[in-house]
Structure 1
Amino acid sequence: MKIEHVLVGFIPEPRGKDALTLAATAARQAGARLTVAYVHVPAWTTPGPGKIDAEWQAYVLEQSDRALNQARRLLADVQDVPIDYVTSGNRGSGRGLAQLAVKAKADVVVIGSAPGGGRGRISLGSTADQLLHASPVPVVLVPKGYADEHPFRIQQLIVTYRRDPASDDAVKQSAALAAQTGVPLRLITLVVSGGRGAKMAEEMLDRLREKVAADLEVAARGHGRVQVEMEVLEGKDVARALGGADCEGALLICASSETGPLRRVFLGDTSLKIIRSASCPVMMLPRNPAKKP
């Protein structure tokens, strides 16, 4: 995985600022360009072919201009990242962003947390739900209040690892991204079944250590050496287990579930719990990633 183009969904609310902050940080660190998108409701049509309600269209355009102008003000100090501003009409903001990701050939889509939920945590709303079931590229969810206490750069990538092909691919992609952004990579396995589960996880990690090291070597080839750490985190539930992780300045990366409907991104039960428990931005990788021509 290499990030050359970041697409961020913006709305003129604090969560929009949270998303902008992470998107600009990631774009700068990856040497990528940034596209800021505002998805508005479609223009109303009136009877007759091609007729559009002029007053409604004017209102939509005015709201779009206000939103993007606010985004420009928030990004006024970002001088080292190429930035584009676009609008698009769609009844669903998530579906609109997914379509824009394809049209703009973006490598990742960034959005803020839905309203509600605690500070420093991620809440899922309709936009996230639509994106996580339609996006052909990774989706980054940003915690509430991130813009107020954000790091100046992403300091580490953390991959939640389980023994399956999706996680193996996530390790390869994350190692390439770690090399691109110059940060260390941490592989964590969450154990939620007590002492016996912890022992099983240790044994599993021992068996997988050589394979993971080989995967990382292939993924990082040509990008320089990637610092890799492995850790087992134990707790009575996912929240307690993940609470033992040092997530300061981190981007947490999760592979899509191997179960469920055949959709690009699908949240399994564990992934959903990880998102809701994380204290840092979370990137969900699609099951069938888009390939650039």
Structure 2
Amino acid sequence: MTGSVVVGYTATDAGADAAALGARIARSLGATVHLVIVLPNEGTRNAAVPPERAYEEHIRSQAKKWLADAVVRLPQELTRSGHVRFSESFAEGLIAAGEEFGARVIVIGAAGGGIFGRHRLGSVASELLHSSTIPVALAPAGTALQDDHVLPRVTVAVGSRPGADALLDEAVALAGDSGVDLRLVSLVPFDVPPGLDTGAIRTVGDTHGQEVLAMATEKLPDGRTAAVEKAPGDSVEDAVANLSWLPGEVVLVGSSRLAQPRRLFLGSTAAKMLHELPVPMIVVPRTRNEAGER
């Protein structure tokens, strides 16, 4: 079962970027795309100003028109639909829609004012990254202008902190269901205790990379391969800047070890990566059972 892709849509450039990335992921997975516009419900309006039904109907009608126009522009081979939802916040409405449609991922665009091809987190993204139980895909500015792809490869930034197993499982599943290969980029050199010499860091990173490679290779379907790539650099930013990327590629990262179980929180390493990434980032929640075990 491939599930679906929920896109947080607005009639803006960021909304077009999110729709393009959502279409790319859905096309690769053979999944349904649901474009969702979230409007404020009555609980978020000023109680001193009674709502006017004519105005509410106008807003709802305009949202439906925006959705209809956006759905038509999506690739014709996709199963796609548009939905208007009401919630106290855009992020809360998207999470509810994601749970309703069994989404594998929620996709949003960058905040306005960002640099072309780069990420810029706005209030909706920040709220999602602190509360979503579903992986969140962040589309860089300009995705809609350069997008005509399926996923050519999936990259995953692997470390040794809690949640790494869930992240690897999600990356393997995405690569396998998309029929593409998996690239593993080890972040262990940035996770080790301070004070280790460079030789020890290299040994730790190489050992961990081979262990994760063996696990990924075992889990991938026949015909798909995994490979470890070293990201040279003295910092996370340097490492990411020195990596090469295929057109249409995505990178998966885990949420912070400080995140609540089954929820997201963008940690410091992922935040540093985000500043340098020219490709979409998918943030994956840590997965734990009630006993607190992975």
- TM-score of the pair, normalised by structure 1: 0.86
Structure 1 stretch displaced more, 276-285 or 196-205: 196-205
- For residues 235-262 of structure 1, the C-alpha deviation after alignment (integer angstroms, 9 at most, x for no partner) is 2432221011112231010011112555
Correspondence 1:111-130 to 2 at 5 A: 111-130=108-127
Unaligned residue ranges in structure 1 (runs of 5+): none
Counterpart contact for 2:213–2:228, Cα < 8 Å: no
> Helix, strand or coil: the match of 1:111?
strand
Count how many residue pairs are aligned between Structure 1 and Structure 2.
281
Correspondence 1:14-33 to 2 at 5 A: 14-33=13-32
* Distance in 2 between residues matched to 1:104 and 1:71, nearest whole Å: 19
- For residues 85-112 of structure 1, the C-alpha deviation after alignment (integer angstroms, 9 at most, x for no partner) is 1111123211110111112221110111
* Distance in 1 between residues matched to 2:27 and 2:174, nearest whole Å: 13
Counterpart among 140, 149, 154 of residue 151 in structure 2: 154
Partner residue in 2 for 1:215 = 215
Partner residue in 2 for 1:233 = 231
Counterpart contact for 2:106–2:136, Cα < 8 Å: yes
> Helix, strand or coil: the match of 1:233?
coil
Partner residue in 2 for 1:6 = 5
Q: CA RMSD in A?
A: 2.6
* Distance in 2 between residues matched to 1:95 and 1:168, nearest whole Å: 27
Letter aligned with residue 284 of structure 2:
L
Counterpart among 246, 249, 267 of residue 248 in structure 1: 246
* Distance in 2 between residues matched to 1:273 and 1:139, nearest whole Å: 17
Q: Aligned pair 1:203/2:200, yes or no?
A: no
Correspondence 1:31-180 to 2 at 5 A: 31-43=30-42, 53-75=52-74, 78-180=75-177
Between the two proteins, what is the percent identity of the paired residues? 27
Letter aligned with residue 211 of structure 1:
E
* Distance in 2 between residues matched to 1:4 and 1:60, nearest whole Å: 30
Structure-2 change in CA distance of 1:116 and 1:283 (3 Å): same
Counterpart contact for 1:39–1:89, Cα < 8 Å: yes
Structure-2 change in CA distance of 1:201 and 1:230 (3 Å): farther
> Helix, strand or coil: the match of 1:107?
strand
Partner residue in 2 for 1:270 = 269
Letter aligned with residue 224 of structure 2:
V
Partner residue in 1 for 2:292 = none
* Distance in 2 between residues matched to 1:64 and 1:182, nearest whole Å: 35
- TM-score of the pair, normalised by structure 2: 0.86
Structure 1 stretch displaced more, 264-273 or 223-232: 223-232
Unaligned residue ranges in structure 2 (runs of 5+): 290-294
- For residues 107-131 of structure 1, the C-alpha deviation after alignment (integer angstroms, 9 at most, x for no partner) is 1101111112211001111111111
